[in-house]
Chains A and B, each alone.
Chain A
């Protein structure tokens, strides 16, 4: 058992060592720090995983526009889906990054009560995903690489959101991302909440900040359904394993972006610098690859995700007959 855990950890570390973004003079420090962290995580208690969730949702954590301000030059925000509405929970725009024009997509939570309400706590309407799709089209036409920053509790569960096609908008946003031939880098910078997150995260390279979370359902929602008690959110979080180390070991993300020692919320400029470095080195790698090849690899990357067993023909499990209901 102990050997299994050790092997698991070693596998994770060997993947971390292979990461382009941990190169340079900082590599030794980062690696050993991540190693310590991974050791901690591999024996993380339910409480410790819950702390990750709380850090990912920390009200002082930098949001998309805080990063944009620090790592982009000449950023111009573009508004509206050109069909029905402007959704302030989704930011789109163009800016200069690493000497070239890039297109930005990102969820935006609000900092104070007024702004939180205006931005709907980062919960996007279908109009927000359509705005993002408008930006993807623009990027494809002008060959701008795309940077996508994910930070949402989830797509908004409202009456108008359903009527305007929330499910279809999320599906079509992913479909469009799978068709693009420009490089796409996504980073989960806080909460990667389910369908609302994946709608803009079908990227060539998916990064995740050290203290971010990425999950199929909120721990609260999972607890309410499986435990029938929302108060069991700590247990649910531990079972869902939404932290960066687990996402990396499952192959869901490609790399962990380090945060300042005490967390992104304590040092915005340093957090932005580390994120900028990771985005830059990812874009450099991707821009060496042709558009057609990028698209093929992107689809293959997602096509390969999942864990299952397959019985060969000779050992096929015979289907049990369905029970007769009386």
Chain B
């Protein structure tokens, strides 16, 4: 049985990995309904009973958002190294190898060119299943390349984030991915490019404190946890009773940090509409 891999600072409210003791990943944590995988996939991994938004893997997200057959992946060959020779209970390279085998991804992000509702754009999609969507050197580099590719092609960037924050196993280099990605967004903006940031559950810590918060338009999925520090740590530090919706998208929109909460069924048309508004060559069709 696989050990649970924790890389995020926040555990509460995060999707649980499948183990014998844990509920099945297709069982809704909110209402307890259970679904076949194809049922859930068909409904964009939203619970038909209670509208709970399940986690979406990166490739499935691309299928949900991009016009069929338009996605062209970039920089798929990037892999993490182990600059700190980091060893906690297990060596970092072992955790990386295990994550690659179990997710089929090289790291926690997939980038590439795509078309959404007939508007060309660049996609940067994070995957929480790969070490909690944590940002190390590869995630930072691939996000920057997505910005550069968007600027070169003169198209907007659509970023979908799902991350527990910076990856501890790359130490201070992970922290440096915050300013690195921020600089890439600023270069994109200087080149006249737009960035649409979609925050999925969870978008926390280092990713929230860098590129995810810099979208020209920022929206979140319903119920997503969007917090620099998650509820468990805030509770421990302050010993105060937290509001029921602490850190959730619904709280963030009241405090003015979001442009909207967009349900997954509306996400693609919403992105299409926004992209057309930013598309200088749009011919009005």
Inter-chain contact A252/B86, CB cutoff 8 Å: no
A295 CA / B212 CA spacing, docked (Å): 22
For residue B214, CB closer than 8 A to chain A, the reply is: yes
Contact A240–B84 (Cβ < 8 Å): yes
Please tell me if B6 contacts chain A, counting CB pairs below 8 Å. yes
Q: Are A195 and B206 in contact (CB under 8 A)?
A: yes
| Residues of chain A lying within 8 A (CB to CB) of residue B170 | 216, 307
* Complex CA–CA separation, A307 to B102 (angstroms): 23
Contact assessment for A178 and B182 in the assembled complex, using a CB-CB cutoff below 8 Å: yes
A24 in the interface, Cβ–Cβ < 8 Å? no
Identify which of B44-52, B150-158, B227-235 touches chain A.
Answer: B227-235
CB-defined interface of A213-229 with B at 8 Å, one 1/0 digit per residue? 01111000110011110
Chain A, interface residues (CB within 8 Å), range: 35 or more
**B238–A216 touching, CB < 8 Å:** no
- In the assembled complex, how far is the CB of residue B176 from the closest CB belonging to chain A, in whole angstroms? 4
- Known contacts: A174-B210, A319-B76, A320-B104. The answer to whether A167 contacts B183 by CB under 8 A is no
Q: Are B185 and A198 in contact, CB atoms less than 8 angstroms apart?
A: no
Q: How far is the CA of A166 from the CA of B210 in the complex (A)?
A: 11
B242 near A159: Cβ-Cβ < 8 Å: yes
- Residues on the A chain within 8 Å of B101, using CB: 320
Partner of B83, one of A194, A250, A299: A250
In the complex, residue of chain B having the shortest beta-carbon distance to the beta carbon of A175: B182
Tell whether, in the assembled complex, residue B79 and residue A317 are in contact, meaning their CB atoms are under 8 Å apart: yes
Query: In this assembly, does B187 line the interface, its C-beta being within 8 Å of a C-beta of chain A?
Result: yes
Q: How far is the CB of B138 from chain A (nearest CB, A)?
A: 5
Q: Would B25 and A325 count as touching, CB distance under 8 A?
A: yes
Tell whether A29 is near chain B: CB-to-CB under 8 Å: no
| Interface status of B173 (Cβ within 8 A of chain A) | yes
Known: A162-B229, A172-B214, A322-B103. A240 touches B182 (CB 8 A): no
Are B242 and A242 interface neighbours, CB within 8 A?
no
Q: Which of B170-218 contact A (CB under 8 A)?
A: 170-180, 182-187, 204-206, 208-214
Q: Is the CB of A158 within 8 A of B237?
A: yes
Contact (Cβ within 8 A) B178 A195: yes
Pick the residue among A239, A308, A312 that contacts B84 (CB under 8 A): A239
Q: How far is the CB of A112 from chain B (nearest CB, A)?
A: 21
The answer to whether A178 touches B183, judged by C-beta atoms less than 8 angstroms apart, is: yes
CB distance from B276 to the nearest CB of A (A): 26
Interface flag for B277 (CB, 8 Å)? no
* Chain B residue total in the interface (Cβ 8 A): 83
A 183-210 contacts with B by CB, 8 A = 194-195, 197-199, 201-202
By a CB distance below 8 angstroms, the chain B residues around A221 are 9
One digit per residue, 1 when the CB lies within 8 angstroms of any chain B CB and 0 when it does not, for chain A 302-323 equals 1101111111110111011111
- As a 0/1 sequence over residues 154 to 189 of chain A, the CB contacts with chain B under 8 angstroms (1 = contact) are 010111011111111011101100110000000000
Q: Quick check: A167 and B209 within 8 Å, CB to CB?
A: yes
How many angstroms between the C-alpha atoms of A242 and B57 in the bound complex? 33
Contact of A325 with B18 in the complex, beta carbons under 8 Å: yes
Q: Looking at the complex, which one of B84, B100, B205, B255 makes contact with A195 (CB distance below 8 Å)?
A: B205
- Cross-chain contact B166 with A217 (CB below 8 angstroms): yes
B76, B184, B226, most chain A CB atoms within 10 A: B76
Cβ–Cβ contact A167 & B106, under 8 A: no
The segment from B63-71, B115-123, B243-251, B263-271 that touches chain A is B243-251
Which residues of the partner chain B approach A315 to less than 8 Å between Cβ atoms?
77
Would you call A155 and B228 a contact (CB within 8 A)? yes
Cβ-defined partner of B168 (8 Å) among A240, A250, A298, A303: A240
Partner of B176, one of A199, A217, A235, A305: A305
Chain A residues lying within 8 Å of B278, measured Cβ to Cβ, are none
Nearest chain A CB to B260's CB is how many angstroms away? 16
Q: B138 and A308: CB pair below 8 A?
A: yes
Contacts of B27 in A (CB 8 A): none
Mask of B40-60 contacts with A, CB within 8 angstroms, 1/0: 000000000000000001010
The answer to whether A165 touches B257, judged by C-beta atoms less than 8 angstroms apart, is yes
Does residue A65 face the partner (Cβ distance < 8 Å to B)?
Answer: no
B172 touches A250 (CB 8 A): yes
Q: Which residues of A sit under 8 angstroms from B246, Cβ to Cβ?
A: 159, 162
CA distance A165 to B87 in the complex (A): 34
CB-CB under 8 A from A41, the residues of chain B are: none
Closest to A312 in B: B77
A119 contacts partner chain B, Cβ-Cβ < 8 Å: no
Whether A317 contacts B77 by the Cβ 8 Å rule is: yes
Question: Using Cβ atoms and an 8 Å threshold, which residues of chain A touch B136?
Answer: 306
From known contacts A168-B213, A239-B88, A299-B187, infer whether A319 and B105 are also in contact, taking CB-CB under 8 Å.
yes
Chain A interface residues toward B at CB < 8 A: 155, 157-159, 161-168, 170-172, 174-175, 178-179, 194-195, 197-199, 201-202, 214-217, 221-222, 225-228, 235-236, 239-242, 246-247, 250, 252, 298-299, 302-303, 305-313, 315-317, 319-323, 325
Q: Can you identify 10 A-B contacts, CB atoms within 8 angstroms?
A: A161-B228, A172-B213, A174-B182, A194-B206, A216-B172, A217-B168, A226-B168, A240-B171, A242-B171, A250-B172
9 smallest beta-carbon distances between A and B, as pairs: A306-B137, A167-B208, A311-B77, A157-B229, A171-B213, A167-B228, A226-B88, A166-B228, A170-B209
